[in-house]
Each structure stands twice: as C-alpha cells, then as structure tokens.
C-alpha cells in the first residue's frame, strides 16, 4: 500500500513538472529564429551537467565534449509518421516522457598524430533550445583545450546545433587555425541565398549557416565519401537527414567507432522505429534508407557508435531487436 502511495505521488509530481515545462517546447517548431519568444525559465533546480569524458579508440585519444542539453519539445511533433499513441508508447517503453524531449550534444575531440580534430561545434550563441546550450567553449577551457590548437573541424552537417559554434558573435572564428571539413553539397545547400526567401525555420537555419560558414570559406575543405580527413578519421556519406550529411569512421589498430551524427537522431525512437523520419530529415525516405543501412552495418560488425544526441557521453553499440534495433550504452569504465 505504502509503495503504491509513493509511486502515485511520484507520478503526480512528474506530470506536474512536465506540464510546467511544455511552454518551452511549443515555440520550437512554430517559429523561425527571428521571432523567438522571451527565454523561458527552467522550472527544475539547476542540475549538474557533465562537461567532458575522455576515452581511447586504439591509439587515438578521444574526448566527448558537451555543448549542453537541448530541449526540442514534444516527441509527437518530431516523428510525423507516427500515430501520437504509438510515439507515446515508444517513449514510455524507454522510461521517457512524450514531452519535452531533452537530448544531449556530444561533440567529439580526437587527437591523432599531430592533429587535433573536433567533430561538430554545438549551437554557439543560439538560444532557442533552452538555457543550457552553448557550453562548448567553456567546457573546452575547463578541460584545458586551447581553441587555437585545433587543426581540423569536421562537420557532420550544417544544422544549428552542429555548426553554429564555428563563429563568435563578434564575427571572429572560435577555432582560428582549423581547416573546416564539410561535404560540398551540404555547404552549397545551406549557404544558397535563395533559401533565405523560404521563410520560417529553413530561412533562419540558412541565415545562421551563412554567418558561420561564409566567413571561413578560405579555410573550408570539401570532404568526399571515403576520404580520410585526418589519420584514422574517414568520411562516410549518409545523406537524408540533410543533403550532405556525413558520418566519420574512427579507426586505430583493432578498434573502430562510428560518429553517427544525426543519422539515427533519438537513442530510443530512431533505433526501434528506424522507418520513422525525424521532423528535420530533409529527405524522409533517403534518411530512413541511410538510417537502416548504417544501423544494420553497426549491428552486423559490432562497431562502437557515438551519437551526437544520445545520453551523455553517447558511446555504445547497436543490436538488432524484435522491432528495429536497440542502442546499448557502454559503461564508462570499460575503455
Ligand atoms: Zn542535431
């Protein structure tokens, strides 16, 4: 009896907290960046947030560097092919609320040979994803990384949470010595002036991409499928989420790990229901094909995966499941 009372009290508390958080979610899809609402206060007490996590991939020193968690709103808005009840069930089965969806931003630093590489850069100053984003530069400093020591920035794609951290608000580059690797199709798509006329979210994303990519044009190197951008780091074209989305395979000795970017966006939903497009997949069908191809490859050969948006630090493996696939997080103390 007592247990039941505690349980029901907990669930009431939880529901109350969620209802209070929902206004954070609503503006995300409804508006472009220009029309952003006033910053909403976080209802929960400040939570401690991990800043970085160091591990090894063979001889390569790897560090997951957080840009902070982002609030993307209600799950029902992000998986438009799913019935509301179906998406709620998938979230509930993963012990997650249907709303709001809070996901991580796991940028990755790799020291390989004489190169220091950062894969993806976080949201920069953009503040539409809640109050806890844009922490990358502070976390780099706290972990002892000098931004000027980065030789390479590799971008999986040019969405705000991956490339808006390239430039400081005053127009200076955060990583002044780095070559920026991005697929040519991705660069061309998001810097196309014509996209500014599209209005809404697309125009806002294009405007931010232009502000972050165009000033660095002379430092940009277009990466091709299969190309090695630094020793042991190989590009793998995975279009669909965006036109030039690129994963990176990191290999050293017997060990390898795939930086999957946003191919399988959510650690529970996108694995169990890989056929469901994510709302920001620019080509839903191609996105689903890339997702199934990559998850199938990971499940077949047991390669480690690192997911930009998976629970920190986002390192794990992929298993086939009765329905789709399953993400199996790796314990922190297992290398
Ligand atoms: Zn993303």
* Residue 172 belongs to some domain of the structure: yes
- 93's enclosing H/E stretch is helix 84-93
Domain membership flag for residue 187: yes
Q: Is the predicted pLDDT of residue 310 greater than 90, yes or no? A: yes
Considering only CA atoms, which of 152, 140, 164 is closest in space to residue 113? 152
Distance, CA 47 to ligand 1 centroid (Å)?
Answer: 22
Residue 18: predicted pLDDT: 34
Predicted confidence at residue 67, as pLDDT, reads: 96
* Long-range Cβ pairs for the range 188-195 (8 Å, 24+): 188/244, 189/158, 189/242, 189/243, 189/244, 190/158, 190/242
- d(CA 309, ligand 1 centre) in Å: 7
User: Is pLDDT of 300 > 90?
Assistant: yes
Q: What are phi and psi of 30, to 5 degrees?
A: -75, -25
Let me know if residue 40 belongs to a domain.
no
In a domain, 10, yes or no: no
pLDDT at residue 115 is higher than 70: yes
Q: Which residue range forms the structural domain that includes residue 77?
A: 50-329
Q: Determine, yes or no, domain membership for 334.
A: no
CA–centroid distance, 222 to ligand 1, in Å, is 20
Q: How far is the CA of 54 from the centre of ligand 1 (A)?
A: 22
pLDDT of residue 14: 39
Domain presence at residue 312 = yes
CATH number at residue 67: 3.60.15.10
Give me the chain's average pLDDT, please.
Answer: 88
Please tell me the distance between residue 262's alpha carbon and the centre of ligand 1 in angstroms.
5
CA 171, 174, 176, 181 dihedral sign is negative
Residue 56 is predicted with a pLDDT of 95
7 in a structural domain: no
Q: pLDDT tens digit string along 35-66? A: 444 445 555 445 567 799 999 999 999 999 99
308-322 average pLDDT score: 97
| Region 14-21 average pLDDT | 36
pLDDT in tens, 209-221: 999 999 999 999 9
Domain-embedded: residue 112: yes
Distance (angstroms) between ligand 1 centre and the Cα of 288 equals: 16
- Flag the least confident range among 8-12, 149-153, 239-243, 286-290: 8-12
State in Å: Cα 105 to ligand 1 middle. 8
Overall number of domains in the chain = 1
160 Cα–ligand 1 center, Å: 8
């Amino acid at each position: 009896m007592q247990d039941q009372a505690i349980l029901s009290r907990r669930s009431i508390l939880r529901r109350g907290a969620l209802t209070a958080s929902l206004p954070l979610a609503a503006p995300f899809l409804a508006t472009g960046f220009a029309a952003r609402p006033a910053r909403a206060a976080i209802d929960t007490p400040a939570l401690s947030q991990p800043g970085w996590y160091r591990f090894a991939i063979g001889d390569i020193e790897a560090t997951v560097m957080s840009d902070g968690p982002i609030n993307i709103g209600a799950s029902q808005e992000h998986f438009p092919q799913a019935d509301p009840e179906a998406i709620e069930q998938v979230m509930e089965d993963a012990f997650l609320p249907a709303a709001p969806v809070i996901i991580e931003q796991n940028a990755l630093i790799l020291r390989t040979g004489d190169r220091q590489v950062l894969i993806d850069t976080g949201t920069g100053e953009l503040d539409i994803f809640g109050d806890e984003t844009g922490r990358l530069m502070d976390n780099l400093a706290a972990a002892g990384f000098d931004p000027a020591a980065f030789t390479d920035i590799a971008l999986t794609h040019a969405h705000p949470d991956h490339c808006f951290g390239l430039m400081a608000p005053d127009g200076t580059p955060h990583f002044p010595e780095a070559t920026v690797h991005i697929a040519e199709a991705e660069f061309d798509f998001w810097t196309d002036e014509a996209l500014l006329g599209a209005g809404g979210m697309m125009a806002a994303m294009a405007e931010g991409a232009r502000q972050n990519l165009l000033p660095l044009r002379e430092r940009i190197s277009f990466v091709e499928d299969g190309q090695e951008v630094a020793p042991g780091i190989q590009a793998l074209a995975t279009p669909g989420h965006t036109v030039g989305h690129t994963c990176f395979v990191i290999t050293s000795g017997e060990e390898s790990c795939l930086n999957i970017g946003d191919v399988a966006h959510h650690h529970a939903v996108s694995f169990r229901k890989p056929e469901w497009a994510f709302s920001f997949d620019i080509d839903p069908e191609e996105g689903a094909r890339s997702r199934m191809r990559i998850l199938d490859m990971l499940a077949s050969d047991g390669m480690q995966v690192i997911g930009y948006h998976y629970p920190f630090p986002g390192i794990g493996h992929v298993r086939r499941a009765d329905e789709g696939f399953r993400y199996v997080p790796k314990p922190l103390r297992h290398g």
